[in-house]
Structure formats: C-alpha cells, structure tokens
Amino acid sequence: MDAQLKRGLLDVCVLVAIKSEESYGYKIIKDLKPCVVLSESTLYTILKRLEGARMLTVRTAEHGGRLRKYYRITDAGRRRIEEFKEEWRQVMTIYQFVCKEDEEG
C-alpha cells in the first residue's frame, strides 16, 4: 500500500480507538488488532503526529504504582474522523464504479 495513504488510514484508526474514552498505548494496539497490526514504534510516531496536530491531548496518570500516559481525542480529532468518512464515501463511489466497469468489460 502507498505509504502516504497508509499513514492517513492509521491516524484515523488510532483516533477511533480513543474516540469513546481516553486510552493508553497498549490498549490502543490491542483494540486495533482485529483491524490492523500496529508496531509500538509506529504507534509512537502516530501519537506524536496527532498530538502535534492537536487531534489528541496527553496526560500522565499513576496506575498501579507506575506512570502511564493516557490519550484523549480533541474536537479537531473528531472532525478528522468525520472528514475521513466523507472522503471515503467518495472513494467508495469511485471504487464501485471501477468494479462495475470490470463486470461489464
């Protein structure tokens, strides 16, 4: 898959993983596993990028005697998910057009 495309897709996947409630690194990887296998270092890069784009906020909290980072989605992050859905509605229309051509040809 095209690297740029994949990056965009993974960004949205991570945003969806923290959409309903804040989450932490390991949980995000586990939640996404049925859909996509994410390596730790890839996740780190994505989280950094999303934080830089203000699509999520980070807080550090104590958990079981150690520190854990929690990621929470922002309004900008939610908007990104909606944008993604709209973009892909268009992509799917094109996809169906392409497949129909295949059947007829």
Partner 1 sequence: MKKEEYLSALEKRLSGLPEKEKKERLRFFGEMIDDRIEDGCSEEDAVQELGSVEELAEQIIGEISLPAIAGHRMREKRALSGWEIALLIVGAPLWLPLLVAAVAVALSLYVVLWALLLSLWAVVLSITILFVAAVGSGIALAVRGDVPAGLALLGAGLFCAGLSILLFLASLGATKGVLKLTKKMIFGIKKSLLKKEERA
Counting every residue written for the chain, the total comes to: 105
Give the footprint of partner 1 on this chain (CB under 8 A).
24-27, 30, 39-42, 44-45, 64, 66-69
Q: Which is nearer to partner 1, 37 or 98 (CB)?
A: 37
Q: Which is nearer to partner 1, 4 or 41 (CB)?
A: 41
Whole-number minimum distance, CB 20 to partner 1, in Å? 19
Whole-number minimum distance, CB 15 to partner 1, in Å? 18
The SS3 assignment for 2 reads: coil
Q: Which is nearer to partner 1, 66 or 89 (CB)?
A: 66
The string of DSSP letters for 23-91 reads: B-HHHHHHHHTTT----HHHHHHHHHHHHHTTSEEEEEEEETTEEEEEEEE-HHHHHHHHHHHHHHHHH
Whole-number minimum distance, CB 100 to partner 1, in Å? 32
